[in-house]
Amino acid sequence: MQLRQLAVCAIVFFTAGLVVSSFAGFREFIPGLLEGAWVTVQITAGGAILAVAMALFAAMARMYGPAPLRWLAVAYIEVFRGTSALVQLFWLFFVLPHFGITLEPITVAVTALGLNIGAYGAEVVRGAVNAVPRGQWEATIALNMPRHLALRRIILPQAFLAMIPPWGNLFIELLKATALVSLITISDLTFRAQQMNQTTFRTVEIFTIVLIMYLAISILITVGMRTLERYASRGIARRG
């Protein structure tokens, strides 16, 4: 039922966007803002992939890795959770060149946001793994199953279901954080909106469209994660 409600909301907001864009005062801004929205989607997708990879690696290293790897994982998690995403973005973009490392703005954006969200995601993964009943671990020990095999076949599939809702929230946070990349010259949705506003002073029209676009992308993320959660639940039920 929730998926249907979200789908209805997505259709309503998409329709509202079409209605808004049909007015002459709004229509002229749509092409440029759509180009910016596409950049925002690309950064969100790239950052999400990096965040998931870093979260899994950091969580597993912190829980089961050797001491040096555990310390490295803890340092990564605490540094990126304990400092501002904006400062991290600026550090990669403005400070790294002083050490002879120059990255493209889009690379900086994906890396900074992916690492930032990945640090939060590592704690989501760790909490979900710890939430798996102890009896599951004991069963793998009784079967003389190696830890890596137990994690891959038994523990992580069960933990995955518990991870999905918080990861949906993190992906939406990642989407909203992409607005920061306009400060390192990337022409994302926010950057395009600011440029148009400075030249036309049509604040109401421009930022109304931007609001609808961000909301539409956010709803699509939510629908996608709810759908994934539903299929994951069915998969675990079949295996049970």
User: Is it the case that residue 125 has pLDDT exceeding 90?
Assistant: yes
Alpha carbons 221 and 48: distance in angstroms, whole number: 11
User: Is it the case that residue 25 has pLDDT exceeding 90?
Assistant: no
Q: How far is CA 207 from CA 14, 38, 196, 235, in A?
A: 16, 17, 10, 42
Please say whether the beta carbons of 74 and 62 come within 8 A. yes
pLDDT score for 146: 78
Q: Which of 61-65, 119-123, 180-184, 230-234 has the lowest mean pLDDT?
A: 230-234
Q: Which residues contact 95 (CB under 8 A, 6 or more apart)?
A: none
Residue range 210-232: mean pLDDT, rounded: 88
For residue 147, give the CATH number of its domain. Answer: 1.10.3720.10
Structure tokens at 124: 């989501």
Q: List pLDDT tens digits, range 196-214.
A: 999 888 888 888 889 888 9
34 within domain boundaries: yes
Q: To the nearest whole number, what is the mean pLDDT of the chain?
A: 86
Tell me the residue type at 233. S
pLDDT score for 16: 59
155 within domain boundaries: yes
Q: How far is CA 54 from CA 109, 117, 124, 174, 177, in A?
A: 16, 9, 12, 14, 18
Asked whether the CA dihedral 189, 195, 201, 202 is positive or negative, the reply is: negative
138 within domain boundaries: yes
Alpha carbons 121 and 203: distance in angstroms, whole number: 36
190 within domain boundaries: yes
Q: List pLDDT tens digits, range 128-165.
A: 888 888 877 777 777 777 777 878 777 888 888 889 99
Helix ranges (DSSP H) in the chain:
2-22, 24-27, 30-64, 67-82, 85-90, 105-131, 134-142, 147-150, 156-177, 189-200, 203-239
Alpha carbons 50 and 136: distance in angstroms, whole number: 29
User: Is it the case that residue 1 has pLDDT exceeding 50?
Assistant: no
21 within domain boundaries: no
Q: Which of 12-26, 76-90, 152-166, 203-217 has the lowest mean pLDDT?
A: 12-26
25 within domain boundaries: no
pLDDT score for 18: 56
User: Is it the case that residue 19 has pLDDT exceeding 80?
Assistant: no
Which pLDDT band, with edges at 50, 70 and 90, does 235 fall under? low
How many distinct structural domains can be found in the chain?
1
Which pLDDT band, with edges at 50, 70 and 90, does 3 fall under? low
Q: List pLDDT tens digits, range 38-70.
A: 999 999 999 999 999 999 999 999 998 899 999
24 within domain boundaries: no
23 within domain boundaries: no
Residue range 109-116: mean pLDDT, rounded: 97
Which pLDDT band, with edges at 50, 70 and 90, does 22 fall under? low
Number of neighbours of residue 238 by Cβ within 10 angstroms: 7
* pTM of the entire predicted model: 0.85
Q: State the residue range of the domain holding 50.
A: 2-16+30-239
